[in-house]
Amino acid sequence: MTTNPLARLTPFPEPPSLIAEYLAERAVVQSVVDGPAPWDIGALTQELVDAMSVWLDAVCRWLNASYAWQPHQVIPPCWTEHDHLPYEVAAFAFARIDAYNDAGSVIVWHEQYDRFVTRMNNALGKTADDCRAGKHDARPSRFALASWPTRVEEELV
């Protein structure tokens, strides 16, 4: 008796219904939804962010299980604590949803995966190995952005 070797592959996590509805409303040609793109996490309502949180974590776990064959490809468990990664993961997740409507786009998405991994590792820098081992630390103090002088808004105008 032969088992199907492809049966072990798991499907991409479906976005929560609230996000799927938001996408559908934005897709309508005469859309009444004038909100931000769903991958622009910082611009979303708290309700959408809450719905997105669990889904994006499932996406990270799926990417790690399906694609991370080398240590540098693993999205660290502290991905939400690296401010750039939620934006990257969200954009990449939504790009996958779009890509799987066309075989040629799937190839492009896989090429984007390599660029995603490169950007992730460039941003994580030397902390990547520690983060992947569950030893997340905030930005090193020498990069403390809080040390930048405060500017009066009048100077910015």
The mean pLDDT value for 119-128 works out to 88
- Tens of pLDDT, residue by residue over 28-70, are 755 555 778 889 999 999 999 999 999 999 999 999 999 999 9
Query: Where residue 25 falls among pLDDT bands split at 50, 70, 90?
Result: confident
Residue 9 lies in a domain: no
CA–CA dist 17, 103 (Å, integer): 25
Residue 114, CB-side half-sphere exposure with 13 Å CA sphere = 4
d(CA 111, CA 92): 11
Q: What is the mean pLDDT of residues 111-119?
A: 95
pTM of the model: 0.82
What is the distance between the alpha carbons of residues 110 and 49, in angstroms, rounded to a whole number?
26
Q: Are residues 77 and 28 in contact, defined by beta-carbon separation less than 8 angstroms?
A: no
Domain membership flag for residue 143:
no
Confidence of residue 24 (pLDDT cuts 50, 70, 90): confident
88 occurs within a structural domain: yes
Q: How far is CA 70 from CA 28, 66, 111, in A?
A: 40, 11, 16
Query: Quick check: is 148 in a domain?
Result: no
Mean pLDDT across the stretch 146-152?
A: 70
Write out the residue range of the structural domain in which residue 96 sits. 42-136
pLDDT at 96 over 70: yes
Give the rounded percent of residues in the chain with a pLDDT score beyond 70.
85
Question: Could you please report the per-residue DSSP string of 121-142?
Answer: HHHHGGGHHHHHTT---PSPGG
**Would you mind telling me the total number of residues written for the chain in this entry?**
157
Domain count, the chain: 1
Rounded distance, CA 122 to CA 103, Å? 29
